[in-house]
Amino acid sequence: MIIKLHQNLINKIAAGEVVERPSSVLKELIENSIDAKATNITVNIENYGLKLIEVLDNGSGMDREDAKIVCDSHSTSKISTIQDLENIASMGFRGEALASISAVSEFEIATKSKEERIGTKIVIDGGRKKVIESTSTNTGTKISIKNLFSNIPARRKFLKSPNTEYKHLLVTFFNYALSFPSIHFILKHNQKNIYNLPKLAHESFNEELKARINDLFGKKITSNIIAVNYNSPYIQILGFLGHPSISKSQKSYQLTFLNKRPIMDRIISKAVYEGYHGLISKNQYPVFFLFIKINPSKVDINVHPRKSEVRFENPSQIFNAVKQAVRETLLKFLKQDAQEMLEQYPKFKKRLESGRLKFSKLNTFPTQKTYFDNIQTNRPIRSGGLISDSLKFTKELLQPAKGNSVSFDYIPYKFLQVFKEFVIIEKDNELLFIDQHAGAERITFEKLIKQFKNGMIETQKLLLPEVIELNKIELESIAQNRKKLEKFGIKMSIFGKSAYKIEEIPALIMNSDIKKLIEDIINELNNEDHKDKFETLKSLNEHIIAVLSCHTSIRSGMKLEREEIENLVKNLLKCNNPYSCPHGRPIIWKLNRGELEKKFKRS
Ligand code: ADP
Ligand code: MG
């Protein structure tokens, strides 16, 4: 027997889609306040949202007639025609949020429009209206949701731990606080003030956004982000990208907004990751806050009940724009880094001049007096020894940057090799920990790439050619790729039936274990996975060069000489990307003086 379901039951079923958890309630309530043009939004939460979620606003409010039907399904003031649906400017439009929420909670609304003197209070319990009465209240709306899902134990059981639910509530709050910096937002939990974010009115959205990011996440994030400002006729992208070095092991600082609406979109996040490609390792997640604006008619936001997923008319256009915006912005970031390093020198000079820097303190540098005397009189310098070495070093610094690439030399004030694996440098207020092998790998990689792009990898003849025996499959892949391998600086000839004689290899990896090197290259050539992953030939080339770079002379477990350390640091900081090795593992890890002091309870 088929029966028509009672509306109350329909609403409860619909609630399953709209109201997944406490944070979905908060999302709907805040969106309604934003749509009502509120400039103040206060959120009260009790017991992690399980006892109470309340949103109070100073928006337009509702008159009694509207308030009475607000919880009926499909009641909305926001759209009325199908054309409206294609050009949605408001956050809500489906007219089912309040109906769904009030079906699964104890719901109370107090509201007053500007025109009315007295407001309206309505209480609904599990979908049934209980009270409609007059109440004295300011213009605006207060909606309180108590004991969410208490009438649906199955759903309540479905919730995660209170802490997890609370975290979702916070993220929801963050989303709108970031997207609408011109609204004053307050968040209270168990009557305690958690956030109070006065409204901002800066010159640009990005400036307001940065201030909000600072209010929410602090200086640690804001001093390591760079603004995105990308414009094309069909898309505008604003927001911020985190420096590769502050990438996280979780995706918690990745927020994407489309026309101010927080969304989750695989196309966009993939584009961002591709933009960061090579700058961070695989299991790390970049920090980003991206605000994308496109014509609302070019995107369908009505594909998901909670409107958190969207469908683009032209996804590849979006993908390309985001990727390009990220790439361009990150390049600026890296250049900025390089510039900062350059500026180290005047700093050093000033410190020398003021006498704050003493030779005794800094045994790799000359005293102020010897330094300037020698430079000015051009007196020949005794070769060997600390002073002449460092003078040479410092003189190099004085030379202007060559070409248009930003070149700089870095003075390791103090350094130390530990565990025969890492180098630690003191730089300003930070300790930089460098993975010696990964760093050397990166340097070799970038040099090889440059040589390869210029058409020629520099090779060196082996004094004693190395003969390596190969099995059938290996022989075959070498035979197929011999010409190609020559381009990578590996020259070889057939030797007998089942061996090859290696005659030349790239000069930069002269000291490598040649057998192992050839083995690795063959593996790479036979690895179908990599071929799939790297669709373009250019990337496959990069991959082979990455394998070559692995065979750089500095390995972990090697004790390094002072000069080797200096060269490593200098060359590494000249790299386009000193932060991760070609395979994506991190190279540099920073420890801030403040963090250290905190550990010792000094700050
Ligand atoms: P939608 O937002 O999709 O229209 P809702 O169920 O969220 O549907 O809200 C129904 C209607 O209630 C809205 O269209 C709006 O007219 C009114 N409303 C809800 N919340 C508020 C509020 N905070 N201030 C003013 N009006 C509101
Ligand atoms: Mg709504």
Question: What is the Å distance from ligand 2's center to 33 Cα?
Answer: 8
Distances from the Cα of 104 to the Cαs of 108, 153, 157, 159, in angstroms? 12, 10, 14, 14
CB of 140 sitting under 6 A from ligand 1: no
Residue 12 banded pLDDT, cuts 50, 70, 90: low
Q: Is residue 563 situated within a structural domain? A: yes
The pLDDT of residue 339 is: 58
The verdict on 161 and 213 lying in the same domain is: no
Specify the ligand 1 atom closest to the Cα of 140: 24
Q: Among 170, 197, 224, give the residue marking a domain's end.
A: 197
The verdict on 503 and 543 lying in the same domain is: yes
Least trusted range by pLDDT, from 159-163, 241-245, 529-533: 529-533
The pLDDT of residue 54 is: 98
The verdict on 498 and 401 lying in the same domain is: yes
Burial 501-536 (b: 16+ CB within 10 A, else e): ebebbbebbeebebeebbebbbebbeeeebeeeeee
Q: Is residue 346 situated within a structural domain? A: no
Specify the ligand 1 atom closest to the Cα of 91: 2
The verdict on 577 and 508 lying in the same domain is: yes
pLDDT in tens, 491-537: 998 888 888 889 899 989 987 888 888 888 888 877 665 554 544 44
- CATH classification of the domain holding 111: 3.30.565.10
pLDDT at 124 over 70: yes
pLDDT at 349 over 50: no
Specify the ligand 1 atom closest to the Cα of 57: 23
The verdict on 193 and 68 lying in the same domain is: yes
Better pLDDT: 309 or 556? 556
R_g over Cα of the chain: 32
Q: Is residue 347 situated within a structural domain? A: no
Which residues, chain by chain, have CB under 5 Å from ion ligand 2?
A: 32, 92, 97
Residue 18 banded pLDDT, cuts 50, 70, 90: low
The verdict on 383 and 493 lying in the same domain is: yes
Greatest mean pLDDT among 53-57, 121-125, 193-197, 475-479 lies in: 53-57
- CATH classification of the domain holding 319: 3.30.230.10
Better pLDDT: 389 or 569? 569
Question: What is the Å distance from ligand 2's center to 160 Cα?
Answer: 25
The pLDDT of residue 137 is: 95
Residues 6+ apart with CB under 8 A from 88: 78, 79, 296, 301
**How many domains, the chain?**
3
Alpha-carbon gap, residue 362 to 574, rounded angstroms: 23
Burial 93-119 (b: 16+ CB within 10 A, else e): bbbbbbbbbbbbbbbbbbbbbeebeeb
The verdict on 267 and 403 lying in the same domain is: no
- CATH classification of the domain holding 516: 3.30.1370.100
The verdict on 227 and 267 lying in the same domain is: yes
Q: Is residue 364 situated within a structural domain? A: no
Q: Is residue 91 situated within a structural domain? A: yes
Better pLDDT: 594 or 85? 594
Question: What is the Å distance from ligand 1's center to 166 Cα?
Answer: 24
Residue 86 banded pLDDT, cuts 50, 70, 90: low
CB of 57 sitting under 6 A from ligand 1: yes
Alpha-carbon gap, residue 43 to 29, rounded angstroms: 9
Mean pLDDT (whole number) for 142-163: 86
- What one-character-per-residue DSSP string does 403-414 give? SSS-------SE
* Residue to mutate, 11, 19, 32, ligand 1, most ligand atoms under 8 Å from C-beta: 32
The verdict on 426 and 561 lying in the same domain is: yes
Q: Among 197, 228, 262, give the residue marking a domain's end.
A: 197
Share of the chain above pLDDT 70, in %: 80
CB of 62 sitting under 6 A from ligand 1: yes
pLDDT in tens, 379-422: 233 333 333 333 333 333 333 333 322 223 445 467 889 999 99
- Indicate whether this model's pTM tops 0.75: no
Identify which ligand lies nearest to the alpha carbon of 141. 1
Q: Is residue 308 situated within a structural domain? A: yes
The pLDDT of residue 9 is: 65
Q: Is residue 569 situated within a structural domain? A: yes
The pLDDT of residue 534 is: 44
Structural domain range at position 537? 377-603
Q: Among 177, 197, 217, give the residue marking a domain's end.
A: 197
Q: In this structure, what token pair is assigned to residue 133?
A: 């009465």
